[in-house]
Structure formats: C-alpha cells, structure tokens
Amino acid sequence: MTNAASATNDSSSTPTIAVRGLWKIFGPAEHKVIGTPDADLTRAELLAKTRSTVGVRDVSFDVSPGEVFVVMGLSGSGKSTLVRCLTRLIEPTAGEVLLDGEDIGKASSARLRELRRHRFAMVFQHFGLLPHRRVIDNVAYGLEIRGEDRATRHARAREMISLVGLEGHDNSYPDQLSGGMQQRVGLARALAVDPEVMLFDEPFSALDPLIRRDMQNEVIRLHHEVGKTMIFITHDLAEALKLGDHIVIMRDGAIVQRGKPAELVGAPADEYVADFVRDVPRSHVLTLRWIMRDRQDDDATDGPEFSADTIIRDAIGAAIATDKPIRVIADGTLVGVVDRVQILTAVAGSGGAP
Amino acid sequence: MNIGRLGRLVAGVTTIGLILAACTPAGSGSKGTVNIAINPWVGYEANAAVVAYLLENELGYTVVKKDLKEDVSWQGFETGEVDVIIENWGHPDLEKIYIDEKKVAEVAGTTGNVGIIGWYVPKWMVDENPDIVDSANLNKYADLFKTSESGDLGQFLGSDPSYVQYDEALMTNLGLNFKVVFSGSETASVEAMKQADAQKTPLLLYFWDPHWIHAVADYVQVNLPAYTDGCDADLEKVACAYPEYALNKVISTKFAKEGGDAATLVKNFTWTNADQNLVSDYITNQGMTADAAAAKWVADNEAVWKAWIP
Amino acid sequence: MSAAAATGRLLPSLPRSAWIVLLSAVTAILWIAFAGQYTLPHDNDAATFETINDIREWIDANRNSNIILVVFVTGIRTLITAIFNVFLAVLQGLTWPGLITITAALGLVIGGLRLAALTGLGVLAFGVLGLWNASVDTLALTFTAVLLSLAIGIPLGIVAGRNDRFLAAIQPILDTMQIMPTFAYLAPFALFFLIGPATAAIVTMIYSVPPAIRITALGIRSVAPATVEAATSMGSTARQLLAKVQLPMARQTIVLGINQTIMMALSMVVITALVDAPGLGKDIIRSFQKNDVGQAFDAGLAIVIMAIILDRLTSRASERVDPARRATRPTPPGQTRRFAIVGLVASIVAVAIGTFVLGGGDFPDEIRFTFRGPVNDVTGWVTFNFYFLTEAIKNGVSYGLLNPLQTILTSAPWWLVVATIGGIAFLLSGLRPAVIAIVCLLVTIRIELWQHSMETLTMVLVATGLTLVIGGAFGVLSARSDRFAAFLRPLLDGAQTLPAFVYLVPAVALFGPTRFTGIVAAIIYAIPPVIRLVEIGIRTVPVAVIEAATAAGSTPRQLLWKVQLPMARPALLVAANQGIILVLAMVVVGGLVGAQALGYDVVAGFARRDFFGEGLAAGIAIVLLGIMLDRITQGAGTRQSTAEARPAVARRGA
C-alpha cells in the first residue's frame, strides 16, 4: 500500500489540504504573541510570562489527494488541536487552511457548516456517538441534519453499516456494542456523508491491542475501497508507520520532522525522533535503498534483482537463498548491491543509516 | 418510545377529564357569595362559623372563608377579596387607612364579646404567692421567672406579633426587672401555658380572654395600674393596663350597600363571651369541625340567633 | 486555585493553624479591651425600616392608579389563576375513583405493579384521611407552580447550560431566591398580586425554579463533550445540536430536575396558606393555631404521601429515560404497551363510574381513618413526661453554647466582629470569600439589623454545629450498617417532607418558646441531607483503598478515622454547606416558637403593617448571612482540594 500511495503522491498535483503557517495559542495573550519576540519562547517560558500556552506553532504541510497523512506525537504535542483547527472546531489564532484552494478560515459560519456536512468527516477517540439513538440513526445523523429524507438516509446508512461489517446491528443502541464495534459505527457515520477528507483523531487508542490491529486493517481496506484522503492522528508510532504515506512528527506544537515512514526511521532529524524510532524493526520499514552499498568489482553480477523501494524484510528470503549479492535496481539501472551483511545488520537493528 | 406513549396517555386522560369537568353541573342558584376573612384564632373562627352557617342554611348564601392574618384581611376590603371581618380587636392604624382615608370599609356594630388583654400567671403561683397578682410586687419574684432566654432578668413571654401589645414600654415605665421574650405565635404561648400549668413552672405572659385555654388551664390576670382614657396615647410613656375592647365587626362598604340580607345578618350578629367560648371549645377540644360546632350551637340556641335573621 | 494562590502570596509562610491561633489571640485581646463599646444595639424604629414602610405606603396608595402596574400585575394574576382553575377543574372532573385509578395507571406504565399499588393506595389515603378536597387543591396548586417553574426554568437552564457568562450572572440570584425566607416576600407579593392561589403559585415558583434552572443547565453541560464535538464536526446548526443531541442526552437529568422542582414546590405550598392558598396547608396551619398536633399530623401525612407518590413517579420516569439502563434492565417487549392499554381502559371506566354512577360526588364520609386521637395522646404523654429531660438539654445548650457565643458577638465592637469573620474567611477560603463576607456584614449594619443578625448568626452556628455532629454520627453508622441505613431512610424522608408546623407544637411544648426550639426544628429539617451526604461520602471511598488499608492491618476504627473520613472530606464539606443553607431556611420558623431576632422580625413584618419595613430588612439580612456562610464554606471546600493538588505538582516537578 505504501508503495502504491506514495506513487500517487509523487505525481504531485494541487494538494487537497494545504496548511500554511498555522498557529493556535490558548490563553489571554492569544493575539499578542505572534510576530513578537515572544513567539520564539519555549512553551514553558511563554506560559510563565503570559499565562498562555502554544497549542500549534507555525505549522505548514500539504496533503495530496488520496493519501493517508499521519500526524504523530505524544500527548500534549498539539496534534489533536491541529486536527481540530482544520475544520475550525478550534478557531486557529493565525495561518491558513486551504481545502482545494478555498481558505476555510474565511468561510462564513453557514459555509463552514456546508463544508463540514459535505466535505469533511471526523472519527473521534471517544467515538462521540449519540447514546439515545440506534446505530442506524447514529450513522444517518450527518445525512439527517443536512435534510435528507428518512428512506434515503436509512438506505445509505445500511450500506455503510454493512461496509464496516456491522450487519444486523442496525437497531442496537451504542451502549449495547463493544468498544471496537462502537468505533465501527463512528467510521460508518463518517463514511455515510461521502466526504472528501476523513479526519481521524486517535480513533483506536481507546481500544484493546488486538481490536486496534483489526481496526487498522479495516482502515487500510476502506482506504483501498473508497480512496478517501485521510488525515490520521496518533501517538502510536507503529500505527503511524503502518498507515501513513506521509508522516509528520510534532513536539510542543511544532513539526520536528516530516517524511515517508522510511525517512523517519532511516534518518531521524533529532534525538527526539531518534528516541521514538529506536525500537522500530528497521527491516520492516526501510527499503533496500537505505542499506545498499556501491557495487564492487568482485561482486557477482547474476544475483537476484530487486527494486530499490523493496522493504528489506521482503528481500530476506532471496538473500538467504543465494550467496550472491542482491542487485538493487532503480529506474532500470543498477544503483547498488546488498549482501547478507547489510541485511543482517538491518535485522539486528543497529547501524544501517548512511 | 415509552415517553411518547405515556404522553399520549396523559393527554387523552386529560382531555376526558376536561370534557367531564365541563359537563358537571355548576353550583345551584345561590343568593350571592359572602367572603369572610378568618383571622388566626379560635374565637374568631367560632364567630365566623356560626355566621357562615346561618348565611348558608337560613338565608341561602354561598360563604367563602379565607384564612388571613389581620393586616392582609384589611387589604382585602380594598381589593374586593374580603367582605367581612367578624371579630376586630381595635386596630386604630388600619381603621384610619381603610375606613377614614380609603373609605373601603365600615364598622358594622359590636359582636357583644368583650376582649380583655392582660398579663397572666398560672393559678398555682397565685396560691403560693397571693401578692403576685399586683404588678407592683413582680420585681420580688423576678428571679422565679428567669430562663435561659432572659439573662439576669425575669422572663415575660410576649405573644404573636400581630396582636396589640406594648409590654416592653410597660417594663421600662413601671420599673420592672423583666425582659420581654416573644413567643412568636399564639400556639407557642398556649403550649407554654399548658406546660407551666402541668409542670408547675413559673410563667408570666401576655394573653387575652375570651380564649379556650381558660377552659383547660387556670390562669389569673395580674393587675396593672388601671386603664384611663388616653393613658396609652403615647406608647413610649404608657404605664397602664390594656383597655377592654368592645370587639366589633368590620365590613366592606360595597358589601354594606349591596349585601342585602347577608349584610343585615352580619350587622345584627351579637352574642356573649360564654357563647363564643362554648363554640371554641367544641372546635378545639371536642374535635368538631367549625361547621359541625356551629350546627350544634345553632340547634341549641335558636332563641339567640332568631333575632339576627332579617 | 486563585484563592489559594492569593492566600499563598499574601501571607508569609506560617502554617494556617498558626495564623488561626494568632487571629484568635488578637481578637481575644481586643475583645477584652473593647467589650461593650462600639456595639450597635437594636432599634425597632430605625430609619431604614421607616423608609421601607414609606415605600410600601406609596405602592399601596398608587397601586390602583398606576396603569402599567395594574395591567401587568392583573394580567399575570389572571393568567395564573386561570391555569390553577384548569388544573383544579381537571382534577375534580376526574372524580375520586378516576383520580385514584389514573395515578395507579401512571404508576403501572412507569414502574410496574408495585409502583401502581403504591401510587393508587397513596391517593386513596387522601380520601381516607378525610382530606380529599384539600389534597386536590394542593395538587392543583403544586402543578401550577411546577408548570410555571418549568416554563421559566427549562429555557433559562438551557441558556445557562450553553453560556458560561449567563450562568455566572444568574448564580447569585438563584442563591438569593433559595435563601430568602418565603415569609419575607409573602407580604410584598400579596401586596401586588393580592391573596389567593396566584400569589401562592408565584411565591412557590420563586423557591422551586432554581433547581429547574440549575439541573437543566447541569444536564446540558454534562453531555459528553466528545459527542457535542462530533455533532458539531458534522455540521450541526446550534438548533440541531440542541434538539438532536443536547436535550435528548440531558433528558434524564432534566426529568430529575422536574422531580426536584416538584419536591421544592411541595415543601412551600404549606406556607402559602398564609396568603389564603387553598389546600392541605390550610389544614396544617389551622391545626397549628389550635395546638392540635393530631390533626396537623393527618394533613402532614397527606403531604408526605403526596411527596412520595410524585417523587417515585418522576424518579422512575427519569430512570426509564436513562439510556444506560436499557442494556442492563430492558423492559420486556410489549409489556409497556399492555400496561398502557390496561391503565387507559381502567382509567376511562373509573372516570365514567365516578361521573355517571357516583355523580361526581365527594369521597364517601363512611371510609375514614384518622391518627388524631393516638397522635395527640402520645404527644401529650411525651410532652408531660419528658419535660424534665428536654428542659435539661435545652438549658445545657442555651447556657453552655448559645448564651456565651451570643454575648461575645453582641458585646464585641462591630469592627472587631467584621474583622475577625473576615479574617477567618480569608484563612479558610481566600481573599474573595473574605471580601464578600465583610461586605455582607457591612450591609447588615447599613440596614440597621446588626444585633439581631448577630443573635441569629449565633443560633445558625450552634444549629449547624449540632446538625453536623449528630448527622455525622448517624451518617457514619448508616455507612457501616445496611440495616441501620434501611431503618433510617423512611424517617429521613419523613423529616424532610413533613411540614415543620406539625412537629413544632410538641417541640415548643418540650423546649418552651425559646431559641433552642427553633434550633431543634432546624436540626430536624437539615439533618437528613447531612446524614445522606456523609453516608455517601464514606460509602464511595474506593474499594481498592479499603482493601489496601485492611490488608495493612487497620482496625475498623483506624479505617474510619484514617481512611474513610479523610477521603470523604469533600462530601463532608458539601454536607456542612448544605446544612447551613437548610438551617437558615428554618430561621423564620424558629421565629414562630420563640427564637427572636431576625426570624421574629420577619414574622412580625408579615403580620403587622408597622413592622413591614423591619420584616423585609430582616429577610434581606438572612440572605446576607446565608451568602456569607455559603461562600466561606464553599471556598473552604475548593481550597482544600487545591491544597491537596499542590504537593502533588511539587512532587512531579522534583
């Protein structure tokens, strides 16, 4: 999936979402910080000086059509604030959010409602279901408030319920379902309005590990089937690496690194990121490009051929089957070779980054 | 869900009720309605019970009794809520406003009852100390009356604030070492009297006659310097007994003009303290309702009330 | 947190106990030096009272000439009287068999057979007690007041639930409405709206609307923020959010608010009998005036039964709308429908029988039962034989607590009292409560009721202290023994709903017309919630903590003193706060049985024209005392919790 999606990303057209210089400051000094020297203070310093907290600090990024864009960070890093600023559930202090070129910040409240009803849909950590409504009416809520008649919205809701695998639970109430099932309702509700962009705010962190894995696979499946643009917030690196075409890592409200999964693992920008990725099995994330060496004259030239974008793990079998070094090909030409030493080093989890 | 169904049930039943209520026949032909204020003491209720009974059963009026304190009753004359106050204990301030200034009420003769306000002690105290009945000797006994409420002084139990009283001025002006502690209600005063009688605890208090308690517990009036005309003119300097009240009836001017036979009956009504105490006793101690008490008295005393009927 | 921070900033770092000792010492020295000077003795003819009297005279004189006053007041009065008459006509038109059956049917649909039996028999009891018509009047009056309260309270509650500023603005007004003694505004309202059910409904509404507003606001506010956010993110308009999310999710809380509103209204309708409101209140007041405990007991019992019926119906209804209950205790399918049909048919048949067979007649006189005789016998016996004991208790408390405290408060210079109370408020609760307390005290001086306020404050403090000690002990016992709790529960329900006028007569017989009688009435009224709060506080200590402490070898006694009570502290502070407010509500009732001071002033102001000003001012003074004590105790609660939070932060930092 990663390979397929990154291909679309590379052929970059206009971004679906473009964020430019986004700030959110909470507290009395909300509008008195940006553009002054105070803007360079650390979070703690600013809090002490102005009793205001930086939620999001000068964030910019593009999200391409159809990609899964992951925002990752620990709690308090500002990632949830960031995603809420996108649809102005939290009003940003400064900066622009463009949806297909339209500045959401300038939308009137009616226009904003229009966007929220048709273009965005969000899935929440604590589900946010309506306990007094049946599953089908929860899923149909977004259609209901935009005025669609009962038959239409129920038909669509039923479709979505079966899409997320909840057939037969139409008439249950949310509190009769398990957590994982409730989040499937949340998913179905978001999908029901056929949005252009889906926002996920740590949707699986309240779930058990096994169910979480199922749900991640579910998202991957849905992404394949419906092909929405997705912005996914998480504090779980494995989840980010598993789902993300592009990942940004946030700390204290600012982006500390951005890139494809392999870039983060292969080349952490600072100690903070390095700490994060330390325990990631490198062979599961890095591609051959990250560990290949230049071809030397005594290398056999008839070893197996692999694309430079192949994940290391997928080349292990071939490497074991032959004594000869693997030839790494990009754009039809040989760019380097990989032999067992590099592969074993990567699997053992040390070194490997150029 | 359930609530919707419940709501429909309630709505349905309510509708039925409304329809039925509309169908039930209204009151039969009455000669008119008389609003009698019921002031909060039993003697008053006795007067009202008898008058109301006669108005309803002999003259065919509808009587509405309204439980009201004195002040509020007088207000009722102005608003048309009250037609009759059947036992008035001299309220010069209210008479001035509603009779003289606003001209919404007028006196409708006396009730025949004589109201006595005074200071009382239990009889057993008088038996032990005969000279206690003279207010000049009270200081000698002040210590007996000392309670947790009166500090170093003897306690004098004042009453419900709505009654005419100037005991605090009397204490000062007669040089008595007593502190006035207000019981706050007739009920509290009566309970205190019962207990002082039963437990033989000393008690000196403001009270009055006619009242049914005198049939239950023996109390003796303490003699204050005699009342003379105008001795209570300046409440700061008053040093004499309370006057005797010839209790009267007050009716609204509208009722006086348009009340017909009912107004005449009210004006004619007059009886003795014994009559009133009897009916009060029926109500308080014999467990009768006011109406039943009135019926019993009316049955036994036809000669008295025949004279009132127009 | 700001209060605690302020205290921290303003005081050098001595422990709080040291400051309290210091404050006491300085106060004691100043009191010895200045006792008897700078006092403010009471004067019945104070200028303030005269001014208020003059205002009253003016209104009285202009009431009929001021067009706006006439139209506005008459309009409201006419409307409310009409509502009352409709309720009354419906309830009467249903006839007695109809009303009994319909109440039972409601019980059946809402709660099943047991509730149906309870409600049906309860309504039947009104007739058996010989109080059918009075009970119907009271019901109609209660419904009128509740309807008004909800019509005003729910919309305001919704606004307050969605708007912080609005909530903050109405909070003090709601406090005042609940602390202000009804007696104090009974006379002014009768002045405007005349006597009768309209005035009764309005004054009742003033008392019962605050819970409707507060609980609705709470319901809206406690809707899970995640849900509101989710609905917003989907593009709900404010109206859709309210109608489709907030109101349905707050439904259970709002029904609970209706329950509270009904209970409050019911506790107030008795007193409105003083402005000629029809109903059981009249029977109770009349019996009180005749010292007839037995008769008052019958009517009081009818009120209690009515309270139980309405409480069970509404609280079961609120359980029913609780979505969480659906999963755990689902109603068997079809049962509700079956019950509804049975109930509806039975109701129609009963109404028809009542109307056409019985001709809409009164409840038959032949079916009668009264507690009057036995209750009067028992009361008589108890008051005669226990007098020696109660006299001793009364004297003990009066000489031991009331008199010394009252002497100190009334003989100390006024500035010393103000400064000391301000200091205590500052040490316990912080700067803001201290400022509020000082302002309240200064206003009582301004309205010339200092001495009476100090006397009433004495009684309130002693009553609250006794309530907390006794209530605390009973609460601990209830928490430790389910059987004791079960035994106590109906007594507490009774004590809270039985009108004070019923037990005032034996109380005054036992304790005489004294301040202590007022205190006894206050304790009876205030103790049930204190006991409940203490019990809940102790019972809700987490099981894990108890297990850990037990595993460490604590004795039950150690468990109580070292674990349960300290952990129940927030509940205990709420209990103290509640206790004070409820005690204040009984100050005026105390005035009826010899408590003097502000309570008596209010009673006198109601009864006599020339005391009107003093009575109204005394009502205000009671509110001021209430606000002062409320803020000090509430502040102490929040301060405690922040004080606990602080070391935790410090630890994390280190």
C227-238 residue pLDDT tens: 888 898 888 888
On whether residue B12 sits in a domain, the answer given is: no
Higher pLDDT, C419 or C67: C419
DSSP letter at B227 equals P
B262 and B151 fall within a common domain: no
CA atoms within 13 A on the CB side of C14: 12
Tokens at residue A88, please? 């102005």
Higher pLDDT, C396 or C361: C396
**In this predicted model, what pLDDT tens digit does every residue of B295-309 receive, in sequence order?**
999 999 998 999 998
> Which of A187, A175, A194, A190 has its CA nearest to residue A211?
A187
Does the pLDDT of residue C352 top 70, yes or no?
yes
Q: Which residues of C touch B157 (CB under 8 A)?
A: 513
Give me the domain span that covers residue B228: 115-244
Q: Which residues of B touch C195 (CB under 8 A)?
A: 66, 68, 72, 75-76, 81
Query: What percent of chain A has a predicted confidence (pLDDT) above 70?
Result: 95
What number does CATH give the domain C386-413+457-654?
1.10.3720.10
Model pLDDT, residue A268: 85
Q: Do B67 and C610 touch (CB under 8 A)?
A: no
Model pLDDT, residue C190: 79
E strands in B139-262 = 154-158, 178-182, 205-209, 219-222, 245-252
Type of residue numbered A45: E
The burial class, CB within 10 Å (0-12 / 13-18 / 19+), for B187 is buried
Q: Do C327 and A128 touch (CB under 8 A)?
A: no
- How far is residue C459 from each of residues C152, C204, C562, C594, C616, measured CA to CA in Å? 35, 26, 32, 12, 20
Average pLDDT value for chain C? 84
Q: What's the residue count for chain B?
A: 310
Partner chains of B (3+ C-beta pairs under 8 Å): C
Does the pLDDT of residue B22 top 60, yes or no?
no
B124 and B162 fall within a common domain: yes
The burial class, CB within 10 Å (0-12 / 13-18 / 19+), for C103 is buried
**What is the mean pLDDT of the segment spanning B252-278?**
91
Among residues B193, B210, B244, the one where a domain terminates is: B244
Query: Whose structure tokens read 């970059």?
Result: A12
Q: Do A132 and C323 touch (CB under 8 A)?
A: yes
Q: Are strands A197-201 and A94-99 parallel, antiparallel or unpaired?
A: unpaired
Total domain count, chain B: 2
Range of weakest confidence among A4-8, A282-286, B269-273, C632-636: A4-8
Residues C604 and C594: beta-carbon distance below 8 Å: no
Please indicate if any CB of chain A lies within 8 Å of the CB of C328.
no
Q: Do B157 and C348 touch (CB under 8 A)?
A: no
Tokens at residue A286, please? 């890095």
Please tell me the distance from the alpha carbon of residue B106 to that of residue B96, in angstroms, as a whole number.
11
pLDDT band at C4 (very low <50, low <70, confident <90, very high): very low
Does the pLDDT of residue A300 top 80, yes or no?
no
Partner chains of C (3+ C-beta pairs under 8 Å): A, B
pLDDT band at C637 (very low <50, low <70, confident <90, very high): low
pTM, to two decimals: 0.79
Residues B265 and B100: beta-carbon distance below 8 Å: no
Model pLDDT, residue C122: 93
3-state secondary structure of A41: coil
Does the pLDDT of residue C594 top 70, yes or no?
yes
On whether residue B13 sits in a domain, the answer given is: no
Model pLDDT, residue C172: 83
Please tell me the distance from the alpha carbon of residue C273 to that of residue B23, in angstroms, as a whole number.
30
Please indicate if any CB of chain C lies within 8 Å of the CB of B23.
yes
Higher pLDDT, A1 or A77: A77
What is the least distance, in Å, from the CA of B297 to any CA of chain C?
19
> Which of C63, C77, C75 has its CA nearest to residue C201?
C77
State the Cα angle at C533 between C529 and C538, rounded to 5°: 150
B102 and B127 fall within a common domain: no
Type of residue numbered C355: T
On whether residue B23 sits in a domain, the answer given is: no
> Which of A83, A36, A38, A76 has its CA nearest to residue A55?
A76
Tokens at residue C170, please? 């109405």
**What is the mean pLDDT of the segment spanning C502-520?**
88
**DSSP β-bridge partners for residue A23:** A94
Type of residue numbered A183: Q
B278 and B298 fall within a common domain: yes
Considering only the beta carbons, identify the residue of C228, C236, C323 that sits closest to A173. C323
pLDDT band at C651 (very low <50, low <70, confident <90, very high): very low
* DSSP string for residues in C222-236: TS-HHHHHHHHHTT-
Please tell me the distance from the alpha carbon of residue B289 to that of residue B305, in angstroms, as a whole number.
20
Please indicate if any CB of chain C lies within 8 Å of the CB of A126.
yes
> In chain B, which residue's Cα lies nearest the Cα of C588?
B184
On whether residue B226 sits in a domain, the answer given is: yes
Does the pLDDT of residue C557 top 90, yes or no?
no
Please tell me the distance from the alpha carbon of residue B132 to that of residue B118, in angstroms, as a whole number.
14
Which candidate in C69, C143, C608, C611 is best for mutational testing of the B interface (most B CBs within 10 A)?
Answer: C608
Please tell me the distance from the alpha carbon of residue C203 to that of residue C141, in angstroms, as a whole number.
11
B119 and B108 fall within a common domain: no
3-state secondary structure of A174: helix
**What is the mean pLDDT of the segment spanning B32-54?**
91
Range of weakest confidence among A77-91, A151-165, A319-333, C138-152: A319-333
Q: Which residues of C touch A194 (CB under 8 A)?
A: none
What is the least distance, in Å, from the CA of A114 to any CA of chain C?
7
CA atoms within 13 A on the CB side of B223: 10
Higher pLDDT, B6 or C145: C145
Q: Do B2 and C91 touch (CB under 8 A)?
A: no
Which candidate in C223, C232, C233, C236 is best for mutational testing of the A interface (most A CBs within 10 A)?
Answer: C233
> Which of C576, C562, C577, C564 has its CA nearest to residue C537?
C564
Which candidate in A141, A185, A205, A233 is best for mutational testing of the C interface (most C CBs within 10 A)?
Answer: A141
> Which of A353, A284, A278, A354 has its CA nearest to residue A316?
A284
pLDDT band at C457 (very low <50, low <70, confident <90, very high): very high
Please tell me the distance from the alpha carbon of residue C506 to that of residue C558, in angstroms, as a whole number.
40
Please tell me the distance from the alpha carbon of residue A189 to that of residue C235, in angstroms, as a whole number.
13
CB pairs under 8 A between B and C: 204
Q: Do C235 and A124 touch (CB under 8 A)?
A: no
State the Cα angle at B203 between B199 and B207, rounded to 5°: 120
Q: Which residues of C touch B184 (CB under 8 A)?
A: 513, 590-596, 599-600, 603
B221 and B166 fall within a common domain: yes
Query: Whose structure tokens read 């008795």?
Result: C270
- How far is residue A27 from each of residues A47, A50, A52, A78, A151, measured CA to CA in Å? 9, 8, 4, 15, 46
pLDDT band at C119 (very low <50, low <70, confident <90, very high): very high
> Which of C483, C464, C493, C477 has its CA nearest to residue C539?
C477
Q: Do A142 and C224 touch (CB under 8 A)?
A: no
Q: Which residues of C410-434 are buried (b: 16+ CB within 10 A; e: fewer)?
A: bebbbebbbbbbbbbbbbbbbbebb
On whether residue B2 sits in a domain, the answer given is: no
Higher pLDDT, B129 or C12: B129
**In this predicted model, what pLDDT tens digit does every residue of A105-156 receive, in sequence order?**
999 988 998 899 999 999 988 888 888 888 999 999 989 988 899 999 999 9
Among residues B203, B229, B244, the one where a domain terminates is: B244
**What is the mean pLDDT of the segment spanning C135-152?**
94
Please tell me the distance from the alpha carbon of residue C341 to that of residue C4, in angstroms, as a whole number.
60
Q: Do C513 and B192 touch (CB under 8 A)?
A: yes
Please tell me the distance from the alpha carbon of residue C280 to that of residue C288, in angstroms, as a whole number.
12
Please tell me the distance from the alpha carbon of residue B288 to that of residue B50, in angstroms, as a whole number.
13
Residues C584 and C626: beta-carbon distance below 8 Å: yes
* DSSP string for residues in B74-140: HHHHHHTS--EEEEE---HHHIIIIIIIS--EEEEEEEEEEEEEEEEEEHHHHHH-GGGGBGGGGGG
Element spanning C144, H or E: helix C132-162
Q: Which residues of C touch A117 (CB under 8 A)?
A: 234-235
Model pLDDT, residue B14: 54
What is the least distance, in Å, from the CA of A141 to any CA of chain C?
8
What CATH code is carried by the domain that includes residue B155? 3.40.190.100
On whether residue B261 sits in a domain, the answer given is: yes
B81 and B131 fall within a common domain: no
Tokens at residue B305, please? 């009330």
Q: Are strands A68-72 and A246-251 parallel, antiparallel or unpaired?
A: parallel
CA atoms within 13 A on the CB side of B162: 19
Range of weakest confidence among A276-285, B154-163, C140-149, C256-265: A276-285
Q: Do A128 and C237 touch (CB under 8 A)?
A: no
**In this predicted model, what pLDDT tens digit does every residue of A223-274 receive, in sequence order?**
888 888 999 999 888 888 889 899 999 988 999 999 988 888 888 888 888 8
ipTM, two decimals, is 0.80
Q: Are strands A17-26 and A53-63 parallel, antiparallel or unpaired?
A: antiparallel
Among residues B225, B244, B263, the one where a domain terminates is: B244
B140 and B233 fall within a common domain: yes
3-state secondary structure of A11: coil
Range of weakest confidence among A48-52, A86-90, C335-339, C442-446: C335-339
Name, in order, each residue with C-beta under 8 angstroms of C113's C-beta and a sequence gap of 6 or more. none
Please tell me the distance from the alpha carbon of residue C523 to that of residue C456, in angstroms, as a whole number.
15
Q: Do C326 and A193 touch (CB under 8 A)?
A: no
Model pLDDT, residue C653: 28
3-state secondary structure of C101: helix
Tokens at residue B148, please? 């947790």
On whether residue B4 sits in a domain, the answer given is: no
**In this predicted model, what pLDDT tens digit does every residue of C419-435 receive, in sequence order?**
999 998 888 888 888 99
Please tell me the distance from the alpha carbon of residue A182 to that of residue C574, in angstroms, as a whole number.
37
Please tell me the distance from the alpha carbon of residue C318 to that of residue C485, in angstroms, as a whole number.
24
Instruction: Give C 562-591 residues with CB within 8 A of chain B.
Output: 590-591
